[in-house]
Amino acid sequence: MENSLTVVDNRTGKQYNFPIMYGTYPNYGAAIRSADLRQIKASEDDFGLLGYDPAFLNTASCKSKVTFIDGERGILRYRGYSIEDLATKGNYLEVAYLLLHGELPTHDQLADWTKNIMHHVLIHENMKKFMDGFLYDAHPMGILVGTVAALSTLYPEARNISDPMVRRMQFYRLIAKMPTIAAFAYRHSIGMPYSYPDCDLGYTGNFFNMMFKRTELKYQPDPVLEKALDILFILHADHEQNCSASAMRNVGSSLPDPYVSIAAAAAALYGPLHGGANEQVLRMLREIGSKDKIPDYIKRVKSGELKLMGFGHRVYKNYDPRAKILKEMADQVFEVTGKNELLNIALELERIALEDDYFIKRRLYPNVDFYSGIIYQAMNFPVDMFPVLFAIPRTVGWLAQWEEMLNDPEQKIARPRQVYTGYDCRSYVPMEERNSKV
């Protein structure tokens, strides 16, 4: 059987043959080149056929080796390693190395990678003045997006993105500085002095230090919470061509420096349908308030008035494997922090939803944001920091997608086509002849 697609254009009776291209799995991700469709013309002067795919539900924008998701089977792998293995056996900086380099680091490679990243955790003192300019109650995601973009003014050499060594230096800086910017944004919002990095504590422990250190000489993070946050960072590190990764590739394709591209990706992540969902999950649970109010809330969701935040996914049409890991991990966190009513509401909400035909028919299951929000809340992170906690680990995923795009000979500036449905050519209307009906 030839690996090709034969189509007949019924307008002309002409037959066309298109080769079918495959990725790693013959039954997942086979594609035809959309550009081949342009051969199909109804007449000599016809532009040729386009593929019409609003929101890119069925469009492969690239070939990628970084992350594999099988939504039907609930599979998530980074560079071929299962998320279950990486979450239980690895640590975040090791996974960050894997995503960017394609292989797990040796002991010396990880030591060198960690040293280089921890060397860059400080931010230019002028950035503090920049951040102090935000109102005290500015949303930390707004501060993060603005400050990351502003970093591009500190490192003009970063515009030389054709130099792999220049790109590598920005990897170190961005992975290192995102937690610092995030923590400083939080401290600004509560009127606390910035808590400077303490590299003795490691990448994730130092984040707790910068967030929660008060007057003690040396902050000591709780090891259970530190491990839990490191797993959360691993689970959020990349997720193939999601909305924010697509933003990173799209903006990155016009070849600006990586700081403004990361700012664009973080802006996409901020939306309540994407990385802002974990914040909305908490607001939803608080609005529900108690388990006995759940049936009424579900009624409002089923009427179409509301969405059940933390449920549903474009790709996972069964349980999000990250949510499964988080659900199991939540108990360890709550042993340290104490359970809270919101978790009880969340568990009851999940139980009810998973038995309700409305959600079953639409294949709506808890996604990563459903449990991450409850865990972050138990760790005393304020709700508006939740999307920031998503952006920190996802920075390496965005960089891995960006690096792959830059090295892909088939990629060029992103510029999709459209199906024009507007007016045909028409003459200018003098002011006195215009009517206000429009």
Tell me, by CB under 6 A, how many residues bind ligand SDX: 22
Name beta bridge partners: 69: 76
Stretch that binds ligand SDX, among 1-9, 117-125, 169-177, 302-310 (CB under 6 A): 302-310
Stretch that binds ligand SDX, among 27-35, 152-160, 359-367, 424-432 (CB under 6 A): 359-367
236 is catalytic: no
Phi, psi of 223 (to 5 degrees): -60, -35
User: Which of 351/362 has CB closer to ligand SDX?
Assistant: 362
**Distance from C-alpha of 227 to C-alpha of 234, rounded to nearest angstrom:** 11
CB 293 within 8 A of CB 284: no
For 151, half-sphere exposure in the C-beta direction (CA atoms, 13 angstrom radius) is 27
**Distance from C-alpha of 249 to C-alpha of 42, rounded to nearest angstrom:** 34
User: Which of 66/277 has CB closer to ligand SDX?
Assistant: 277
Binding to ligand SDX by residue 279, rule CB under 6 A? no
230 is catalytic: no
Minimum distance from CB of 305 to ligand SDX (Å)?
10
Contacts of 230 (CB under 8 A, 6+ apart): 91, 92, 203, 204
User: Which of 192/315 has CB closer to ligand SDX?
Assistant: 315
DSSP tag of 423: -
Retrieve residue 409's tokens.
């000979």
CB 144 within 8 A of CB 388: yes
274 is catalytic: yes
Binding to ligand SDX by residue 369, rule CB under 6 A? yes
Minimum distance from CB of 242 to ligand SDX (Å)?
3
Query: Of these residues, 120, 139, 188, 313, which one is catalytic?
Result: 313
The residues in 232-251 that bind ligand SDX, with binding defined as CB under 6 A, are: 239, 242-243
Minimum distance from CB of 310 to ligand SDX (Å)?
5
**Distance from C-alpha of 68 to C-alpha of 368, rounded to nearest angstrom:** 16
Amino acid at 90: G
Q: Catalytic amino acids?
A: 274, 313, 369
Write out the residues near ligand SDX by the rule CB under 6 A. Answer: 239, 242-243, 273-275, 277, 301, 307-315, 362, 364, 367-369
